[in-house]
């Protein structure tokens, strides 16, 4: 009884500290992902752990640094281009709404004037909302710029913690293993190894999906003559990663507004681009998941499909994760199938 009280108390403390420990938890997760590369470097070149950690950590810094530099340069250039056209985009959107109202009025002579007036007031409200959006966007940019110093502090803590955890990871494992039985230690080691391998594969798969989505969107937008194609392609990738939303959340409304505004070529092109990205993603997803996560293509296809049907966009992640977890627990002997027909 005393042991369970202590465990419950420790869990309560961990949950209380969780919101304040995000950089440290991310550092631990990253250290576990980098650990196979560090161990491989030690074994192949007979390096001391400190030297291997320093080499892998430096390579990690270079990759992250170049990625951030590329993103910042592209974003600044594209945001400047978009900001110059934002008033025109908002103006064109309000013209589309006015056109809808005029069309409605021409076909609704039998409808009471009160309803028409109500619709006009709704359009005016939307116009005000668009203007408010432009103002709020500027304020939000100022807010995010002000938050940059705090972000860099958290990021610095993350990097320092990553380096120190990578150095002491073997000792941390030994310290934890003292409180585990041999059987539990073996099972836990197998589970962690399988999940770490699957975690790395999952990140590689999602990175590959994002890369494919970005280049497909970039190529399509460039063909359609969009000046800020790189920024919009990046926005599409970010929206695609977010739960519930997807590439259609950007491309379909954009295409509909373009068609309503008379630019049929752009509108149809955007909708076709959405279809192409969706079809390509659905074709390659089972193969990419099976290759990187270590599950069969059939299991990957079924888990992705059922996950999407039950949970929507987030099910694309949860479905394969559940399959990986169950397979790992079965291999470790934690789950045993004893039912026979």
pLDDT in tens, 253-273: 888 878 877 788 988 999 999
Q: What count of other Cβ atoms lies within 10 Å of the Cβ of residue 300?
A: 25
- Percent of the chain scoring above 70 in pLDDT: 69
| 144 vs 281, higher pLDDT | 281
Closest CA to 85 of 225, 240, 253, 234: 225
Query: Is pLDDT of 251 > 80?
Result: yes
Higher pLDDT, residue 326 or 43:
43
Residue 88 near residue 206 (C-beta atoms within 8 A): no
pTM: 0.60
Number of domains in the chain: 1
User: DSSP assignment of 174-210, as one string?
Assistant: HHHHTTS-HHHHHHHHHHHHHHHHHHHHHHHHHHHHH
Counting every residue written for the chain, the total comes to 341
Q: What is the pLDDT of residue 210?
A: 87
275 or 90, higher pLDDT:
275
Q: What is the DSSP letter of 69?
A: H
Token pair 């990253």 is found at: 30
Choose between 249 and 131: higher pLDDT: 249
C-beta contacts of 317-321 below 8 A and 24+ residues apart: 317/202, 320/202, 320/289, 320/293, 320/295, 321/202
The range of the structural domain enclosing residue 265 comes to 180-335
Question: Rounded to an integer, what distance in angstroms lies between the CA atom of residue 321 and that of residue 327?
Answer: 10
In whole angstroms, give the CA distance from residue 188 to residue 202: 20
Low-confidence winner among 47-51, 81-85, 281-285 (lowest mean pLDDT): 81-85
In a domain, 221, yes or no: yes
- If you write DSSP's letter for every residue of 98-117 in order, what string do you get? HHHHHHHHHT-TTS-HHHHH
Contact between 308 and 315 under an 8 Å Cβ cutoff? The reply is: yes
- Give the least confident one: 230-234, 241-245, 267-271: 241-245
Confidence class of residue 275 from pLDDT cuts 50, 70 and 90?
very high
Does 305 fall in a domain?
yes
Left if phi > 0, otherwise alpha if psi is -120 to 50, otherwise beta: which for 262? left
Asked if the structure places residue 127 within a domain, the reply is no
Residue (of 251, 214, 207, 248) closest to 233 by Cα position: 214
Q: What integer pLDDT is reported at residue 226 of this predicted model?
A: 85
Q: For residue 150, how far is the Cα from the chain centroid?
A: 22
Q: Is residue 166 a part of any domain in this protein?
A: no
Q: Give the integer Cα–Cα distance in Å for 38 and 198.
A: 18
Helix (H) or strand (E) holding 258: helix 248-260
Mean pLDDT across 227-255: 77
Instruction: Please tell me which residue, 281 or 241, carries the higher pLDDT value.
Output: 281
pLDDT band at 66 (very low <50, low <70, confident <90, very high): confident
Whether residue 179 is predicted with pLDDT greater than 80 in this model: the reply is: no
| Residue 65 placed within a domain | no
pLDDT > 70? residue 180: yes
Residue 64 lies in a domain: no
- DSSP letter string, 147-170: HHHHHHHHHHHHHHHHHHHHHHHH
Is residue 303 included in any domain, yes or no? yes
pLDDT band with cut points at 50, 70 and 90 for residue 166 = very high
What local confidence, expressed as pLDDT, does residue 133 receive? 59
In a domain, 202, yes or no: yes
Distance CA 150, CA 154 (A): 6
Average pLDDT over all residues of the chain: 77
């Amino acid at each position: 009884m005393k042991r369970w009280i202590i465990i419950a108390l420790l869990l309560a403390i961990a949950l209380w500290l969780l919101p304040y420990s995000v950089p440290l938890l991310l550092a631990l997760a990253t250290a576990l992902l980098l650990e196979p590369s560090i161990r491989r470097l030690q074994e192949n070149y007979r390096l001391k752990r400190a030297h291997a950690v320093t080499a892998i950590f430096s390579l990690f810094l270079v990759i992250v640094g170049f990625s951030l530099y590329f993103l910042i340069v592209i974003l600044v250039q594209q945001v400047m281009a978009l900001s110059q056209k934002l008033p025109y985009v908002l103006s064109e959107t309000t013209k589309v709404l006015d056109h809808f109202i005029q069309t409605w009025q021409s076909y609704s002579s039998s409808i009471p004037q009160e309803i028409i007036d109500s619709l006009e007031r709704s359009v005016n409200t939307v116009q005000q909302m668009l203007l408010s959006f432009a103002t709020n966007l500027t304020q939000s940019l100022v807010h995010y710029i002000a938050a940059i110093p705090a972000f860099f502090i958290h990021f610095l803590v993350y990097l320092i913690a990553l380096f120190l955890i990578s150095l002491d990871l073997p000792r941390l494992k030994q310290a934890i293993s003292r409180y585990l039985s041999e059987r539990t230690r073996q099972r836990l080691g197998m589970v962690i190894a399988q999940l770490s391998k699957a975690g790395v594969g999952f990140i590689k798969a999602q990175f590959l999906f994002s890369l494919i989505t970005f280049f497909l969107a970039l190529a399509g937008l460039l063909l359609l003559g969009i000046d800020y194609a790189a920024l919009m392609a990046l926005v599409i990738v970010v929206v695609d990663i977010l739960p519930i939303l997807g590439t259609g959340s950007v491309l379909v409304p954009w295409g509909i507004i373009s068609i309503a505004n008379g630019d049929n070529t752009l509108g149809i092109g955007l909708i076709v681009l959405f279809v192409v990205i969706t079809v390509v993603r659905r074709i390659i997803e089972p193969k990419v998941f099976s290759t990187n996560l270590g599950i069969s293509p059939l299991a990957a296809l079924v888990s992705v499909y059922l996950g999407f049907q039950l949970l929507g966009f987030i099910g694309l992640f949860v479905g394969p994760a559940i399959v990986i977890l169950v397979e790992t627990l079965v291999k470790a002997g934690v789950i045993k199938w004893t039912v026979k027909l």
